[in-house]
Amino acid sequence: MQSTITRTNKVKMRLRIKGMIFLLLTGAAISVFLAFTNVDVAAADRAPVEARNQTEASGTSYSTAGALVGKTRPGLSETPTQVAIGLYVNDIVKISDAERTFTVDLFGRLRWKDSRLAPKGRSSATGTRQLLLEDIWHPWPTILNRRESMRIFPDTVEVNSEGMVTYKQRLYGNLSTPLDLKDFPFDRHILKIEIVSLYQTDEVLFTVDEEIIGQTETPSIVDWTIGPGSASVDSKYIPSLDRTVPRFIYQFEVRRRLAYYIWKIMVPLCLIISISWSVFWIDPSQLGPQMGISVTALLTLMVYLHRIGDLLPKVPYLTRMDEFILGSLVLVFLAFFEAIATGTLAGRGKSALAQRIDRWSRGVFPASFALLVAFVFLR
């Protein structure tokens, strides 16, 4: 009985070993098969890319229409290629003082003629032809002051039967702009959208497409007034490229709305300053009430200035609003020291002199504040 069990166990062990060997051989065969398959697939995937690279190296490119078209500039030996640029500002979303940027939604259209791309054969029956922008010659338009942007439309062009190429694109993003905030909050600025080509001025010539120049009359931005825009073309020297390139400029004026800053900053400051003047109508011998009002006005002003810090532009120079706030702070401090001086004089038995200083201060401090307002905001 014992020998029978032993033989049975040996048979089971042999079967297990054979099964494991079979699984290992099967796995190895599958791995070898997949390895050869991946090599073939990779080679098949690289073939179009290598063909594309060879095509580009030879000066031609593959188009979606199945034809090889030249990537050299049309009319290479003739006059510069004229490119008409149209730009419409769909929306102005935000102007950032801290980042020196403005956020816009743009629609642009570029048109130039390239007779080599005109549809032929069956394609000519439809009158137009769609091509990838990267597969043809184009003027390499670039927004010079672009900080970051997102393209909405695909990079394709449409070519009509006469060889007129039309490229349309919509962009949303941030553009940089220099901002001089010394007149804040009475400042106004010229915002520009600059488009340049990477070709020189003797190769590409920009013109303004008047059919599509303009901007929305109802922008999303609420704290600025947007003026009318205008378009022009000129040239600009790019030091990094060491060349002079054609430039298209669309610009418009923006003016900051004052109501928010008047009611949120200027009016509360005027009230706090007026509180500090009430010590001039208190008897100089009442030093306690005078000190209480002066300290309260001073602390209120300091806390308020801390709260409105985020509303002010963070620049290394004084703006008009900074000058107004600094002048107001000086007047409150002077009122505080005046209260101490008159109280001290009254305590030394010079009440008449202290009262004369108070009467004098009732006119001098409001007049000084009026001069401060005139100097800061009316100059």
Rank 31-35, 53-57, 342-346 by mean pLDDT and report only the highest.
342-346
144 three-state secondary structure: coil
pLDDT for residue 50? 37
Residues sharing a CB contact under 8 Å with residue 224, sequence separation 6 or more, in sequence order = 92, 95, 254, 255, 256, 257
Cis peptide bond N-terminal to 48, omega within 30: no
Express the helix, strand and coil content of the chain in percent, nearest 5 each.
Answer: 45, 30, 25
Can you give the pLDDT at residue 44?
Answer: 34
Residue whose C-alpha is closest to residue 327's, from 294, 258, 376: 376
Of 71-75, 215-219, 319-323, minimum mean pLDDT range: 71-75
pLDDT more than 70, % of the chain: 79
Selection from 297, 308, 290 nearest residue 345 by Cα: 290
Check residue 37 and give its pLDDT.
Answer: 42
Dump pLDDT digits (tens) for 65-112. Answer: 333 345 788 877 678 999 999 999 999 999 999 899 999 999 999 999
DSSP characters over 335-353: HHHHHHHHHHHHHTT-HHH
Over residues 260-274, mean pLDDT: 92
Indicate if the pLDDT at residue 52 is higher than 60.
no
**Average per-residue pLDDT in the chain?**
83
Check residues 128 and 216 and name the one with the higher pLDDT. 216
pLDDT at 18: 55
Q: Cβ contacts of residue 23 below 8 Å, gap of 6+?
A: none
- Cα 16–Cα 20–Cα 23 angle in degrees, nearest 5: 140
pLDDT digits (tens, 9 = 90+) for 324-360: 999 999 999 999 999 999 999 998 989 899 999 999 9
Per-residue pLDDT of 128-141, as tens digits, reads 889 999 999 999 99
Residue bearing tokens 């610009």: 251
Quote the CA–CA distance of 326 and 124 in Å, as a whole number. Answer: 72
Amino acid residing at 14 = R
Q: 124 pLDDT band (50/70/90 cuts)?
A: low
User: What is the gyration radius of the CA atoms in the chain, in angstroms?
Assistant: 38
Strands 204-208 and 81-96 come out as parallel
- The pLDDT confidence band at residue 206, using thresholds 50, 70 and 90, is very high
The CA distance from 108 to 169, in Å, is 5
